[in-house]
Amino acid sequence: MLYKILDKNHHKEFLSNLVANVKMVGPKKKDDSCHDFTSIKDVDEIDTAYQKTTIPPAKKILFPSTENLVRFRLGETIESEGLLESSETVLFGINAWDIAGMNFLDRFFSTDFADENYIAKRKALTVIGIDTEPTETNFAHYMDSEYVIEGFDLYFTDLGDRFFVRIATAKGNALLDRFAHIKDIEENDLKDFNKYMNVYRKKFKLEINMKNFLDNFENIYDKKGVWEELAEKCYSCGSCNLVCPTCFCFNVKDDINLDLKTGQKMREWDSCMIPEYGLVAGEHNFRPSKENRLKQRYRCKLITYKEKYGKNSCVGCGRCIEACLAKINIAEDINAIKKEVNV
Partner 1 sequence: MVLNAEKKETKKTIYTPDLATITQVKELTPTEKQFTIELDDVHKRKEFSFEPGQFVELTVFGLGEAPFSIPSSPNNKENFELCVRKIGNVSNALHNMEPGAKVGIRGPYGKGYFPYEKMQGKNVVIVAGGIGMAPVRSLLKVILEDRSSYNDFTLIYGCIDPNNILYKQEIEELKKSNDIDIKLTVDNPDDQWDEHVGVCTNLIPDLDYSPEDTFIVVCGPPIMYKFVILELEDKSFKPENIFLSLERRMECGVGKCNHCHIGNKLVCVDGPVFSLWEIRNLKEAI
Interaction site with partner 1 (CB under 8 A): 21-23, 69-72, 74, 77-78, 80-90, 108-109, 112-117, 120, 124, 126, 174-175, 178, 218, 221-222, 248-256, 263, 265, 267, 270, 272, 277-282, 284, 286, 292, 296, 299-300, 303-305, 307-308
Minimum CB separation from partner 1 for residue 201, in Å?
Answer: 30
The sheet with strand 162-167 has its strands ordered as: 35-40, 24-29, 89-94, 125-130, 154-158, 162-167, 2-7, 182-184
Minimum CB separation from partner 1 for residue 87, in Å?
Answer: 5
Please report, as a single letter, which amino acid is at residue 319: R
Minimum CB separation from partner 1 for residue 187, in Å?
Answer: 33
Of 135 and 169, CB closest to partner 1: 169
Minimum CB separation from partner 1 for residue 314, in Å?
Answer: 15
Of 194 and 257, CB closest to partner 1: 257
Q: From CA 68, how far away is CA 269, in angstroms rounded? A: 12
Minimum CB separation from partner 1 for residue 270, in Å?
Answer: 7
Whether 56 contacts 132, CB under 8 Å: no
Residue 279 DSSP symbol:
B
Of 117 and 239, CB closest to partner 1: 117
Of 43 and 279, CB closest to partner 1: 279
Minimum CB separation from partner 1 for residue 259, in Å?
Answer: 11
Long-range contacts of 162-165 (CB under 8 A, 24+ apart): 162/5, 162/6, 162/7, 162/8, 162/189, 163/5, 163/6, 163/7, 163/8, 163/11, 164/3, 164/5, 164/189, 164/192, 164/193, 164/196, 165/3, 165/4, 165/5, 165/6
Of 9 and 82, CB closest to partner 1: 82
Minimum CB separation from partner 1 for residue 206, in Å?
Answer: 27
Of 29 and 306, CB closest to partner 1: 306
Whether 217 contacts 337, CB under 8 Å: yes
Secondary structure string (H, E, C) spanning 247-267: CCCEEEEEEECCCCCEEEEEE
Of 187 and 259, CB closest to partner 1: 259
